[in-house]
Amino acid sequence: MTIATTDRTERPPLLQVTAGAAAQLRKLMEQHNPDAVGVRVGVREGGCNGMSYTMDFANEKNPTDEELNVDGVRLLIDPMSIMYLIGTEMDFVAEKLGATFVFRNPNETGRCGCGESFTV
């Protein structure tokens, strides 16, 4: 008797969050919405290049959300955004003229000049 096995290839991490990004998310939640259950991270259609990243405080977890706990910060990702975020690194970068969250996505094939939208 032969038992068939499937070769399961591990997917890359859904979303990697740097320590700086996690610290900034924690700070924002504490200062602006301490009652939030977490931060919703996603992708939506829009922008000059087709898609853009979204972030907002989440007041509830949807049953289909993928949940990540990063250094005490609960991140919620809707199922439609998962395929666009696999392997992405989220960082928080502070520069001379401002500070922002930066997404480094290996799935991107193009990005607009202003950096606000992308193509896969």
Distance of alpha carbon 75 from alpha carbon 87, whole angstroms:
15
Residue 18: other Cβ atoms inside 10 A: 18
* Whole-angstrom distance, CA of residue 114 vs CA of residue 14: 25
Q: Strand, helix or coil at 65?
A: coil
Tokens, residue 96: 């001379």
CATH code for the domain of 26: 2.60.300.12
- 114, part of any domain: no
Both tokens of 116, joined, read 């606000």
- Predicted TM-score of the model (pTM): 0.80
Which residue range(s) make up the domain with 40? 15-108
Total domains in the fold of the chain: 1
Q: What's the pLDDT tens digit per position in 64-114?
A: 999 999 998 999 999 999 988 999 999 999 988 889 899 998 877 666 655
Tokens at residue 112, please?
A: 């607009």
Q: DSSP assignment, residue 47?
A: S
